[in-house]
Amino acid sequence: MTFRLLVGSLSTALKKTFDDTDISDAQIAVWCTFFINKYRTARIQSESTGRYTTIFPNVPIYTPTTSTINYIAGRKYLILPSNILDLPNDEGISYISYNQFSGYCPPPFTATQFTRTTINSSGALYFDVYQTPQPDNPYFYLIANNIVYLLGVECINLNSLEIGLIISFDPLNNCVTDENMDLDEALVSDVYKNVLELGRFVMLVPSNTVNDASDSNENAQAQKQRVVSVNQSQENQPTE
């Protein structure tokens, strides 16, 4: 099933249930995207699968000359080419690799792979001769804004890397509305059911309870009635 077909089917179902529905296809698309990513994350965490891994070859490496927020002078980094699912231990990054040997026959991802670390734990690596970051034992750590810093390759000429990512489903930015959704067919019905129930819930909310910021009572006056009764005993009255 394509994403456009899923959204269209849900739009038709909601219109049959509510003749005056004002839920747009764009809103349905947002809900579908939310639940698709939810179920993809659950499936990835429950089993080992490469179904949702996307390979990006030749991702460029940058080395800033001046320091600004998140960008430190002299430190090599790359920008993830797509948003990833926020999985534990940065498992949204399946692998980062490069081929450091000229004429090496196996694919680059089987050559030298980067090991994941964190900012807090990376310092201890340099105190262990077997874990010290170096060209044949590089590391990476992820920070905000999809920035990935690289350790161990500071002194070699390295311009790009091959990366495997478990990317989040984004039909608008990735232009996949007319392509088969990268989702287990067994989960499509769950996405359909959740979006349909959410749409029905939204349509059941009474319109007179929605705050549209308009003033419907122009002649309303401030309350004049006493909050505390004049007959209330003195000791029970609040003090000012």
Give the pLDDT confidence of 25-74 residue by residue, as tens digits. 888 889 998 998 888 888 888 777 777 788 999 999 999 999 999 999 99
- Residue 225: band (very low, low, confident or very high) from pLDDT cuts 50, 70, 90: very low
Arithmetic mean of pLDDT over the chain: 81
Give the pLDDT confidence of 195-213 residue by residue, as tens digits. 988 888 887 766 555 555 5
Q: Report whether pLDDT(148) > 80.
A: yes
* Secondary structure (3-state) at 71: strand
The two three-digit tokens of residue 21, written as one number: 């529905």
- Residue 227: band (very low, low, confident or very high) from pLDDT cuts 50, 70, 90: very low
Q: Where are the domains of the chain?
A: 1-51+170-205, 53-166
- Residue 226: band (very low, low, confident or very high) from pLDDT cuts 50, 70, 90: very low
Give the pLDDT confidence of 78-96 residue by residue, as tens digits. 999 998 988 889 999 999 9
- Can you tell me the distance from the alpha carbon of 37 to that of 46, in angstroms, rounded to the nearest whole number? 14
**Cα 77 versus chain centre, distance:** 20
Q: What is the pLDDT of residue 140?
A: 96
Do 78 and 62 touch, CB atoms closer than 8 A? Answer: yes
Q: In the chain, where do the E strands start and end?
A: 53-60, 77-79, 93-98, 112-113, 115-116, 139-143, 147-151, 160-166
This prediction has a pTM of 0.73
The two three-digit tokens of residue 132, written as one number: 């010290």
> Which residues are registered as beta bridge partners of 165?
54, 93
Q: What is the pLDDT of residue 124?
A: 92
- Can you tell me the distance from the alpha carbon of 69 to that of 96, in angstroms, rounded to the nearest whole number? 24
